[in-house]
Structure 1
Amino acid sequence: MASAAGKAAKRLIVRFDKKMVLDPALAAHPPLYESARPWWIKYSWLFAGASLFSSFTMAEASWTQWKRAADPNDPEDAKTGEEWLPQPTWMRLGLGGFQLCAGLGLTALIIALQSRVVRRVRVIPPGVAPTLGNGAEKRLLLQSALDYSRASIIPFSAARLYPGRDDTELVINADGFRGNLWLGTKNAVVDGQAGKAPGEVRGALMAEWGIKKGDTVQIPQNPSAKTKLAKSAV
């Protein structure tokens, strides 16, 4: 198995210019796959903001409003003359810290999920746009839902395509990426053609990888463990 450093070395991050162009030569090669961002991604930053706001609000409430009834038999409580007293510092700090960590963790998860959703795939033939990676080989350009002005380029041979749970999705396992990448086939555009059914989109993409209907492919259950494989007929 290739090391993490070896995998990362195969991935090239490129940035678009002000006109959102990587190389003029790519104009003659439309993306193999394009899809709009799923609805939940369109509102993901709102979800992330709500997560942060709610976690900070709950942490602040835990610190300032979490109280206990004063014990009239406790001399220390009696000295304060208050009916309600704050909970011990360690309890308020612990609960507030947990709420903050939960909010930050959920926000990080929302952002990470965006990077796993692919919105554009472009196959670059050998000899085309030689400045993008190794021009002598076939390359794959990937843009996730989180990529606005940049894209990732890897050798085509470093990416493996697998069927998803049904006709509406596909999975790419590629060197240089953590975990699998998800492609939705509903309302997707293939080779510049819109209006195709999910099954047609799925078939066109799998054909690019040389996978035919009826072929048996191995789907990794855990990308980091080659021994855990399950066979599934396409």
Structure 2
Amino acid sequence: MSSAIKAAKNIFRFFRPGGTPHIYNSSTPPLFQRRSPWWAKWTFGLVACDAFMTGSAMDLTWNHWSEPIDGKSESEVPSHPEYYTLRPIWQRLGLCTGFFVGGVGAASALFIAGFRYTKVLDVYPHLQTIANPSRLDKSVVRKALEDRRVFIQSARHTRSRGMTFPLSQCTLHRGRADSELLLTIDNERGHWYIGLDNDSVINGQNYKGSAAREVILKAWKGGWINDDLARAASLPVPTSQKKKGGEAKNQKPPMNFHHS
């Protein structure tokens, strides 16, 4: 019973990730922002179409999927209803189940993708508000960096609403190209997609590809960076202070990049 409850919770986290609800009210442009994709804006309409098509397919299958009487082939009988009979229940039920699973899967994929598509990303407090490390005790600077948080607004959030996570629990990964980043968070299922294409705005400016990625990485002090992304961005290999799972943490206070 407990394993079933745990599995249900894991599935639910795909639809409703954790984090702390937050209303974004910064007076400066966020680190990353972009418009919602068309399919996110029309999610409910697409789900309604999906439900209609799924229901229609199931209705046709259950009430009209037939075969010729007496096991004859379709070429041997006229195309009139009196020469046909409904197929066995197990055949119709199996195909209806397939349509139902496919329809639910398509609708679920739309909702999950909406929650995992990043529309706004910011890290606060901003580095400009943290005093010059050379004038402070290193432990104070490190504590300030460790207390930073990430604000995420997905395509499913409205207005200025979103959620926050501790930056120390967040890891950036390299995407399929320079125009993509992936964000994973400890104890959260799946990842968040960050598209660095022509529609993205970085710190209020139109950076693209690797240039946009570099700006984000400079602001990612206190967070984790996957080794593949670190190599692609030509970041130095960190000294080995291990995080769980064998991830190494850079001990240089000025950068404070973490690698995994």
Q: Counterpart of 1:204 in 2: which secondary structure?
A: helix
Structure 1 Cα separation of the partners of residues 149 and 85 of structure 2: 65
The amino acid of 1:206's aligned partner reads L
Q: Match for residue 52 of structure 1?
A: 51
Helix, strand or coil at the partner of 1:170: strand
SS of equivalent to 2:151: strand
**Aligned pairs (5 A) from 1:132-211:** 137-148=147-158, 150-186=161-197, 187-193=199-205, 195-210=206-221
Identity %: 25
Number of equivalences: 192
Unaligned runs of 5+ in 1: 17-21, 74-80, 129-133, 219-224, 228-234
Partner of 1:112: 112
Does residue 12 of structure 1 match 2:24? no
Residue number in structure 1 paired with 2:67: 68
1:123 paired with 2:130, answer no
Pairwise CA RMSD: 3.4
What is the TM-score normalised by the length of structure 2?
Answer: 0.63
Distance 1:11 1:111, change over 3 A: closer
Instruction: Determine which structure has the larger helix proportion and give its number.
Output: 2
Contact kept? 2:20, 2:165, Cα under 8 Å: no
Gaps of 5+ in 2: 1-6, 73-80, 130-143, 239-243, 247-260
The equivalent of 1:77 in structure 2 is none
**Alignment check: 8 A CA contact 1:68 1:85 kept:** yes
Q: TM-score, normalised by structure 1?
A: 0.69
Q: Per-residue deviation at 1:120? A: 0.4
Q: 1:175 to 1:152 in 2, by over 3 A?
A: farther
Q: Alpha-carbon deviation of 1:105? A: 1.3
Contact 1:162 1:171 in 2 (8 A): yes
> More displaced, 145-154 or 42-51?
42-51
1:97-130 residue CA offsets vs partner (Å, 9 max, x unmatched): 221121111111121111111110122218x9xx
CA contact (8 A) 2:22 2:164 kept: no
Q: CA deviation at 1:216?
A: 6.4
